[in-house]
Amino acid sequence: MDFGFSEEQELLRSTARKFFEKECTSEFVRKMMATPEGTTPEFWAKLAEQGWLGLIFPEVYGGAGLGFVDLVVLMEEMGRAVMPGPYFSTVLLGGLTILEAGSDAQKKRWLPKLSAGEARVTLAWTEPNARWDAQGVTVAATEAGGGFTLSGTKLFVPDAHIADALVVVARTAAGGNPQEGVSLFLVPKTAPGLEVTLLPTMDQTRKLCEVKLGRVAVPADALLGEKGKGWQPLTRVVERATVALCAEMCGGAQRVLDMTTEYAKIRVAFGKPIGAYQGVKHKAADMLVEVENAKSITYYAAWAVDESAPEAARAASMAKAYVSDASRRVSAAGIQLHGGIGFTWEHDLHLYFKRAKGSEFTFGDATYHRERVAQLINL
Amino acid sequence: MDLTLTPEQQSFRDEVRAWLEANMPRDFAARVMASSDIPRPEAYDLLREWQKQLYRAGFIGLTWPKEYGGRGLTFVEEMILHAEMALAKAPPVLNILGVGMAGPTIIAYGTEEQKRRYPPKILSCEEIWCQGYSEPNAGSDLAALQTRAVRDGESYVINGQKVWTSLAHVADWMMLLARTDPDAPKHKGITYFLLDMHLPGVTVKPLRQITGDEEFNEVFFDNVRVHESHVLGGVNNGWAVGMTTLMYERLALGFGLQVRLRIALDGLIEMARRVEKGGARITKDPVMRQRIAQLWIDTECLKYTGARAITRLLKGEMPGPEASTGKMGWVDTHQRLQELATEIQGPYSQLMKGTQWAVEGGLWQYTFLRSRANSIEGGTTEIQKNIIGERVLGLPKG
**Res. A209: pLDDT tops 70:** yes
In a domain, A66, yes or no: yes
Q: Cα dihedral angle (A202, A208, A214, A218), rounded to 10 degrees?
A: -170
Residue A148: count other Cβ atoms within 10 Å of its Cβ.
24
Same domain, A43 and A68: yes
Give the per-residue pLDDT at B249. 62
Q: Minimal CA–CA distance to A278: which of B391, B382, B380, B143?
A: B382
From first CA to last CA, the distance across chain A in angstroms is 29
Q: Minimal CA–CA distance to B203: which of B237, B159, B245, B264?
A: B159
In a domain, A34, yes or no: yes
CATH architecture of B241-392: Up-down Bundle (1.20)
**Res. A73: pLDDT tops 60:** yes
Same domain, A209 and A324: no
Task: Give the number of domains in chain A.
Answer: 3
Q: Measure B285 CA to nearest chain A CA, in Å.
A: 10
**Res. B112: pLDDT tops 90:** yes
Q: Give the pLDDT band (50/70/90) at residue B33.
A: very low
Q: How far is CA B107 from CA A342, B103, B248, in A?
A: 49, 6, 12
What DSSP element (H or E) covers B175?
Answer: strand B173-179
Domain of A332? 232-376
Same domain, A141 and A276: no
Q: Minimal CA–CA distance to B93: which of B140, B144, B136, B39?
A: B39
Domain CATH code at residue A97: 1.10.540.10
Q: What is the pTM of this model?
A: 0.94
| pLDDT tens sequence across A223-246 | 999 999 999 999 999 999 999 999
Q: Which amino acid is at B385?
A: K
* Interchain pair A278, B398: CB under 8 A: yes
Q: Among A226, A248, A267, which residue terminates a domain? A: A226
* Interchain pair B296, A302: CB under 8 A: no
Give the chain A residue whose CA is nearest to the CA of B2. Answer: A2
Rounded distance, CA A44 to CA A48, Å? 6
Residues in chain B: 398
Stretch 15-34 of chain A: residues touching chain B, C-beta under 8 Å: none
Rounded distance, CA A364 to CA B69, Å? 51
Q: Minimal CA–CA distance to A222: which of A186, A253, A251?
A: A186
| pLDDT tens sequence across B59-70 | 999 999 999 999
Domain CATH code at residue A199: 2.40.110.10
Q: Give the pLDDT band (50/70/90) at residue B314.
A: confident
Query: Of B249, B322, B360, B377, which is the active-site residue?
Result: B249
- Contacts A302 to B, Cβ<8 Å: 1
In a domain, A1, yes or no: no
* B243/A39: higher pLDDT: A39
Same domain, A134 and A73: no
B35, B92 in Cβ contact below 8 A? yes
Q: Minimal CA–CA distance to A82: which of A209, A200, A251, A261?
A: A251
**What φ, ψ does residue B357 adopt, rounded to 5°?**
-80, -15
Q: Among A226, A247, A267, which residue terminates a domain? A: A226
Q: Minimal CA–CA distance to A116: which of A36, A162, A55?
A: A55
Rounded distance, CA A52 to CA A57, Å? 10
Q: Which of A227-236, B1-10, B110-119 is predicted least confidently? A: B1-10
Residue B117 burial (C-beta neighbours within 10 Å; 0-12, 13-18, 19+)? middle
* B307/B343: higher pLDDT: B343
- Contacts B310 to A, Cβ<8 Å: 3
Same domain, A168 and A217: yes
Same domain, A55 and A147: no
Same domain, A238 and A349: yes
Same domain, A352 and A369: yes
Q: Is B78 a catalytic residue?
A: no
Q: How far is CA B322 from CA A2, A110, A375, in A?
A: 15, 41, 29
| pLDDT tens sequence across A115-148 | 999 999 999 999 999 999 999 999 999 999 999 9
Q: Among A103, A119, A135, which residue terminates a domain? A: A119
Q: Give the pLDDT band (50/70/90) at residue B286.
A: very high
- A252 in contact with B at a CB cutoff of 8 Å? no
SS3 B161: strand
Q: Which of A23-37, A320-334, B233-247 is predicted least confidently? A: B233-247
Q: Measure B46 CA to nearest chain A CA, in Å.
A: 33
Domain boundaries, chain B: 7-123, 129-236, 241-392
CATH topology of domain B129-236: Butyryl-CoA Dehydrogenase, subunit A; domain 2 (2.40.110)
Same domain, A184 and A309: no
| pLDDT tens sequence across B137-196 | 999 899 999 999 999 999 999 999 999 999 999 999 999 999 999 999 999 999 999 999
Stretch 78-137 of chain B: residues touching chain A, C-beta under 8 Å: 79
Q: Minimal CA–CA distance to A125: which of A199, A196, A246, A231?
A: A231
| pLDDT tens sequence across B215-231 | 899 999 999 999 999 99
| Span B257-275, average pLDDT | 90
Same domain, A248 and A362: yes
Give the per-residue pLDDT at B31. 54
Rounded distance, CA A376 to CA B293, Å? 10
* Interchain pair B1, A321: CB under 8 A: no
In a domain, A210, yes or no: yes
- Contacts A286 to B, Cβ<8 Å: 385
In a domain, A134, yes or no: yes
Stretch 222-281 of chain B: residues touching chain A, C-beta under 8 Å: 269, 272
In a domain, A108, yes or no: yes
Rounded distance, CA B182 to CA B169, Å? 29
> Across all residues in chain B, what is the average pLDDT?
90
Q: Minimal CA–CA distance to A76: which of A239, A240, A252, A242?
A: A252
**Res. B323: pLDDT tops 80:** no
What DSSP element (H or E) covers B160?
Answer: strand B155-162
Q: Measure B235 CA to nearest chain A CA, in Å.
A: 33
ipTM above 0.85, yes or no: yes
In a domain, A255, yes or no: yes
- Contacts B282 to A, Cβ<8 Å: none
In a domain, A113, yes or no: yes
Same domain, A110 and A184: no
Give the per-residue pLDDT at B35. 53
Same domain, A244 and A369: yes
CATH architecture of B7-123: Orthogonal Bundle (1.10)
Q: Which residues contact A255 (CB under 8 A, 6 or more apart)?
A: A79, A80, A81, A82, A352
Domain CATH code at residue A356: 1.20.140.10
